[in-house]
Amino acid sequence: MTVGEKIKQIRKDKGLQQKAVALEVGLDQSNYNKIENGKREPSVEVLQKLSGIFGITVDELLNPDDNKKPTPVTVEDKTVAEKIRLVEQLEEEDKNVIYKMLDTMLTKKKFQDFFQQNIAK
């Protein structure tokens, strides 16, 4: 879906007439029609006015494919292979931070195990 199609869909969903929206935005109906039909790109000013009229953000107008915002990733419920794949998608610096944390935790665990087996007796 193009930006123009998205604008048209929102206008219709809100029950607004093209002529009324065009007037509110400050365009004549033929120029506004060109925006909805993809023959003309809306200016930033027009996008801001439309977002105010429609009660949505400019970002919502510019996301014509209805891309949803990313959802948080929770690794707790993933398999080990999925967890590794997710870590591998990170930038090198972030991966190194995770590896250092794992090293620290594993070392701590080894010391705890050693202490339990040799000193706590």
CATH number for the domain harbouring residue 22: 1.10.260.40
Residue 77 placed within a domain: no
Residue 70 has pLDDT above 70, yes or no: no
Residues 8 and 58 grouped into a single domain: yes
Residue 39 has pLDDT above 70, yes or no: yes
Burial 38-71 (b: 16+ CB within 10 A, else e): eebebeeebbebbbebbeeeeeebeeeeeeeeee
The CA distances from residue 46 to 16, 40, 90, 95, 100, in Å, are 16, 12, 38, 43, 50
pLDDT for res 68: 60
Coil, helix or strand at residue 22: helix
Listed residues 42, 62, 82: the one ending a domain: 62
Residues 58 and 95 grouped into a single domain: no
Listed residues 43, 62, 81: the one ending a domain: 62
Residue 55 placed within a domain: yes
Residue 115 placed within a domain: yes
Residues 56 and 98 grouped into a single domain: no
pLDDT for res 69: 61
The CA distances from residue 106 to 99, 111, 112, 113, in Å, are 10, 9, 10, 10
Residue 109 placed within a domain: yes
Residue 75 placed within a domain: no
| Element of type H or E holding 63 | none
pLDDT for res 94: 93
pLDDT for res 64: 58
Residue 27 placed within a domain: yes
Residue 24 is part of which domain span?
Answer: 3-62
pLDDT for res 116: 87
Residue 71 placed within a domain: no
The total domain count for the chain is: 2
| Predicted TM-score (pTM) above 0.85 | no
pLDDT for res 61: 83
